[in-house]
Amino acid sequence: MGSKRGSSGVKLFWHVLVGVALLAVLSACVTPAGYGYLAQEKVYRLAPQLGALQRRSLAHLFIPVAQVSPAIDSQRIVLFKPAYQQDFLANGRWPDRLSTYFTSTVIDALSRSNAFLTVSDRPTSNQGGYKLLLRLTGFHAEYLPKSQAKVAVVAQMEALLIREKNQRILGQYRYDIRKDNINAHPDSIVVALNQALADNLTSLANDMGKDLPVLF
């Protein structure tokens, strides 16, 4: 009799232990939103469309990897809080480190604009080769004072145009765009950054057109 009661006690103990473990697993799977719930991470992509261009340049354009401020050169999308405290958008990132992704985005956008004969990440042996050096000093969002619902987006870019044949500097350009009162939702922030980049690249293409030989 004693052994049977002991055996029943062991079985009961294991049934209780399994039940507690199962409840713990179910509780972890049904955590209410707002209490440690993490949404699925989203990869954001840029596709800037250039505006009206004044002319097409007779130039083969080479764009090496851009210099990007260390504060924003990350795969995460930077958000600055008051007092210049750095943070990142939750559950959102770029497909690659910003310096790499920004460079490929610019090359793609300028290629699609048809403003140049060719645009590439490699130098050309063609006599019409030009190098465009880019430096991105700002590409982020900032909380507006006394507001957690609205942000400003900032896109600051510098460029240097060089003739590859003799390394002569043909032009120096700087662009600084700020868009205020943007909804703090990540989707809205990326849309605003995309438009700011498009505006900067439109201005850049038109400015380079004044310093390069033109087709029309």
Q: Look up tokens 């130039």; give the residue.
A: 59
Q: How far is CA 110 from the centre of its chain?
A: 18
Question: Who has greater pLDDT, 113 or 3?
Answer: 113
The residues facing 58 across adjacent strands are none
Which residues, in sequence order, are CB contacts of 146 under 8 Å at separation 6+?
none
Q: Look up tokens 């044949």; give the residue.
A: 165
- Cα separation, 184 vs 168, in Å, equals 44
Q: What percent of the chain has pLDDT over 70?
A: 81
- Cα separation, 73 vs 98, in Å, equals 5
Phi, psi of 156 (to 5 degrees): -120, 125
Quote the tokens at residue 123: 């130098």
Question: Who has greater pLDDT, 33 or 18?
Answer: 18
CB atoms within 10 A of CB 210: 12
The count of residues in the chain is 216
pLDDT digits (tens, 9 = 90+) for 83-96: 778 889 888 999 99
Asked whether the predicted pLDDT for residue 162 surpasses 50, the reply is yes
pLDDT digits (tens, 9 = 90+) for 63-109: 999 999 999 999 999 999 877 788 898 889 999 999 999 999 999 99
Over the chain, what is the mean pLDDT? 84
Quote the tokens at residue 160: 């240097």
What is each CA distance from 27 to 14, 16, 22, 23, 40, in whole angstroms? 20, 17, 9, 6, 19
Please state the rounded mean pLDDT for residues 127-139.
Answer: 93
- Cα separation, 123 vs 108, in Å, equals 16
Please state the rounded mean pLDDT for residues 32-38.
Answer: 32
Which residues, in sequence order, are CB contacts of 114 under 8 Å at separation 6+?
56
Question: Who has greater pLDDT, 123 or 192?
Answer: 192
Phi, psi of 100 (to 5 degrees): -70, -45
Nearest to 193 by CA among 46, 82, 87, 75: 46
Question: Who has greater pLDDT, 102 or 26?
Answer: 102
Asked whether the predicted pLDDT for residue 138 surpasses 60, the reply is yes
Asked whether the predicted pLDDT for residue 38 surpasses 60, the reply is no
Position 90 scores a pLDDT of 85
